[in-house]
Structure 1
C-alpha cells in the first residue's frame, strides 16, 4: 500500500470517535433522524452527517427509508448488541472522568433468584433499585444453581441469590438464613398438631418443587437423607408460586422455608408446622463476579440486593445475620 494511502486511512480512523456509535445507537432506536436529533440535542444535519460517515466506514447503508420510518439493515441489526456495550462504556468513562457520582449506576440490572424466595425478595429488590435510580431498569431470571457460575462469567447476570442447606461456598456473601417447615391446607389433619413427627412426615403425601431440569430440590433431599428420612413425592412441579394454591385444594404437604410458608399463609387458608426432626438451616447467599463487568457497577447492584434484605428484616420478613 502506498504511504500516502496509509496516512489517509490513519487520518480517517483518527476522526472516528466513540460518540458516533452512540449517535448510531439512538438513530436505530428512534428509526428517525429528526427524533434522534431531538433526543441527542443535535441538529438534523449533524446527525445525518454522522450517519453518512458511519455508512462509509462500515460499508453498509445501515438504515434505509421505509414507508414511515428508517428501517435497519441486516448489518445494523447485528450491531445493536455491540452498540449497547460501546455506548455504556462511553458513558461510564466520560462520567467518571468528569467526576459524576452516578457514573457507576447501570442502565440495567440483571438479577437471578431462586424460585422459593423470589415471591418475597423480588419485590423488595425492585423497589430498592427503582428508588435509587430513575434511569435503571431491572430484569429478573430464574436460574439453576449449577448454571449460576456460567451465567455470571458470561456477563448475562450481574448477581445471583441462591441457597444451600450446607456451608456457604467460600468467597460468597451470606445475606440471610431460614428454617425448613411444612406448609399445608388448614383442613389437613396434621394442621391441628403443634409439630409433625418423622413417621407422620414419611407417611404423608408431598408436593416437590422441581428444578427446570426436572429434578427435586437437591438440598432438601440431601438433608432428609442425612437424617435417614424420606418423603412420598406424589406431585412435582417447577412453579413455586403455584404450590400454595395446590395445597389449598389438596391433602399434600410442602417442605419449604418458614418465610415462604408465612408469606402465603398470611392470605391463603394454609397452615405451617415445624418438624420434630432438626434439619439444617437454609443459607441464602449472593454470588457475583467482576470478570466481565465493571466492578463498581456490580458492587452497586449487590448493595441494592443487600439493602432489600435489610428492608425485609425491618418488616420481619427474613432473618438476616
Structure 2
C-alpha cells in the first residue's frame, strides 16, 4: 500500500500504452504526450519495478519477461479503475458522438448488423460506425490494440481471450439458382457429390469445409470447382450458373432467385457470436451498443 501511495497512477497508463505499441514515439502519440515525457516516465517505471521493462528490438522495443507478466493484470486494473471513476449511467444515445469500428464479414454484416442499423441510426444519430473485414486470426490483436470495438464471428473461430455472447445458431442448406435442373427433386448423396460446388473461404483460396469433413467420414468426396472470399459473391455466382453451394439458411432463405433444399447429408451448423475486448467491457456506451444489436437479431 505504501508503494501505491507513492506511485503516480499515470505511469501505469503509460506502461499500458508502451505494452501495446512497443515504441516510445507511438505510445506518446496515443497518450497525446511528448516523446521526452514518455521517456522520462519509462525511466521512473523502471525504478518502480526494478526492471528495464523494455529492451531494444528490431522494430522498436521488446518487453522483458517482467513486462509481459504485467500486461494482463495491468489491463484489468486500469479497466477496474475506469469503472470506479466513471459517472454512473451517463450514456445518452440521443447525444452520443461515439465512433465504433466493427469487424464482420458479409454474412455477419447482412444477418446481424443490417437488421440493427435503422434502429441504431434513429436512437443515436450522431454516432458513426465503420464495418471492416478482418481475418479471424487478427481479431484478438486488433481488438486489444483498439482497432476494433466489436466483432462477429463463428464460435469455432472466435479467440478465447475476448468476451463473447452467442447471438444465434445457424444451419446449412443446399442452394442453387431458381430452376436449377438438379434441385427440383430430392437428391441422392451420390448426385450431391457429382454437382459442381462453390465454397466460401474467408482466409482465401480454401477448397475444403465442414461438408467435406463429413463426406470424408463416409469415404466420399464432392466436386468443389470454385472458392470465393465472401457470401455476396457466392450468391451472385449461384444465380448466374449451375454451381451449387452449402450456404447458411438465414442468408438465402428469402431470395426468390435462389432454390433452397435440404441436403442429403446432415452438416453441423455453427454459432454466431459477438466479441469484444476487456478494455470496453464496462463502458456504458459499448454496453448499450451490444444490447441493441443483440436485441435486433
- Work out whether 1:203 is the aligned partner of 2:194: yes
TM-fit CA distance, 1:274: 0.9
Task: Give the 5 Å matches for 1:41-190.
Answer: 97=87, 100-102=90-92, 105=96, 107-164=98-155, 172-190=164-182
Once the two structures are TM-superposed, the CA of residue 294 in structure 1 deviates from its matched residue by 5.9
In 2: Cα distance, 1:147 partner to 1:133 partner: 29
When residues 296 and 153 of structure 1 are mapped into structure 2, their CA distance, relative to the original with a 3 A threshold, is same
* Residue 243 in structure 1 maps to residue 234 in structure 2: yes
Give the aligned partner of residue 278 of structure 1.
266
Number of equivalent positions: 217
- State the superposition RMSD in angstroms: 3.6
Query: Per-residue deviation at 1:278?
Result: 1.6
Q: Structure 1 stretches of 5 or more lacking a match?
A: 1-56, 59-91, 310-321
Q: Give the TM-score normalised by the residue count of structure 2.
A: 0.62
Gapped runs of 5+ residues in structure 2? 1-33, 36-81
Secondary structure of the 1:129 match is helix
> Partners of 1:286 and 1:235 in 2: how far apart?
29
Separation (CA, whole Å) in 1 of partners of 2:108 and 2:215: 20
Query: Is this contact kept in 1: 2:96–2:127, CA < 8 A?
Result: yes
Q: TM-score, normalised by structure 1?
A: 0.58
- 2 CA distance for matches of 1:182 and 1:204? 11
8 Å Cα contact 2:207-2:226 kept in structure 1: no
Give the whole-Å Cα distance in 2 for the aligned partners of 1:278 and 1:166: 21
Q: Return the offset for 1:217.
A: 6.8
Task: Give 1:220 deviation, angstroms.
Answer: 5.0
For residues 56-98 of structure 1, the C-alpha deviation after alignment (integer angstroms, 9 at most, x for no partner) is x99xxxxxxxxxxxxxxxxxxxxxxxxxxxxxxxxx99x9559
Cα drift, residue 249 of structure 1 = 1.7
Structure with the largest fraction of helix = 1
Alignment of 1:306 onto 2:294: yes
| Larger-Rg structure | 1
**Structure 1's 271 and 127: CA in aligned 2 closer, same or farther, altered over 3 A?**
same
* Maintained 8 Å contact 2:89/2:284: no
Aligned to 2:285: 297
Q: 1:155 to 1:276 in 2, by over 3 A?
A: same
Residue in 1 aligned with 2:248?
Answer: 257
2:166 touches 2:273 (CA, 8 Å); kept in 1?
yes
Superposed displacement of residue 237, structure 1: 1.7
Structure 2 SS opposite 1:287: strand
Tell me the CA shift for residue 275 of structure 1: 1.0
The aligned counterpart of 1:319 is none
